[in-house]
Amino acid sequence: MFSTSNSLSDVSLQKTRPTSLPNVGFCPRSKIKTDSKFEVVMYSNSLEMALDSTSTVKEDIFQLAQKNNVSFVVCEGTLKRHKIKKSKLIKGIQTVPDGILQIIKRQQSGWGYIKEAHQ
């Protein structure tokens, strides 16, 4: 499971910083395709990355969301705070009531957790 809260929220960061999105579902070091499941949890300031109108990585998200082992979810609380309707999300992105709670639930059920960060 990946989460993003700030790292790719700034459109300028989306444009200039390479992301790990294209490698979700693939282990480049071992050069083998994995059968693991991946979930990207977006909340807080990463909302712009999930919006069809502002995301600079929407094609990557759309393509990856078509895979059976990859999902993207956005926190409904974040949508509510920013007064954004679900219909504004990139096609294929789902919602969860609370992004942080989703991470906790996944960890409790044995999922690994990778926090996207920038320097």
| Cα gap 1→13, rounded to integer Å | 21
Comparing C-alpha atoms, which of 99, 82, 77 is closest to residue 48?
A: 82
Tokens of 92: 């294929």
Query: Could you read off the pLDDT of 68-105 as tens digits, one per residue?
Result: 889 999 999 999 999 999 999 999 999 999 999 999 99
The pLDDT of residue 78 is: 96
| Cα gap 11→45, rounded to integer Å | 11
| Cα gap 73→93, rounded to integer Å | 6
The pLDDT of residue 3 is: 63
Query: Could you read off the pLDDT of 45-66 as tens digits, one per residue?
Result: 889 999 999 999 999 899 989 9
Q: In CATH, which of 3.40.50.620, 3.10.150.10, 3.40.1260.10, 3.30.70.60 is domain 2-9+36-115?
A: 3.40.1260.10
Residue 7 has pLDDT above 50, yes or no: no
pTM of the model: 0.76
- Mean residue pLDDT of the chain comes to 80
E strand residue ranges, the chain = 2-4, 26-27, 32-33, 38-42, 70-75, 94-96, 114-115
The pLDDT of residue 8 is: 46
Give the residue carrying structure tokens 């789902």: 94
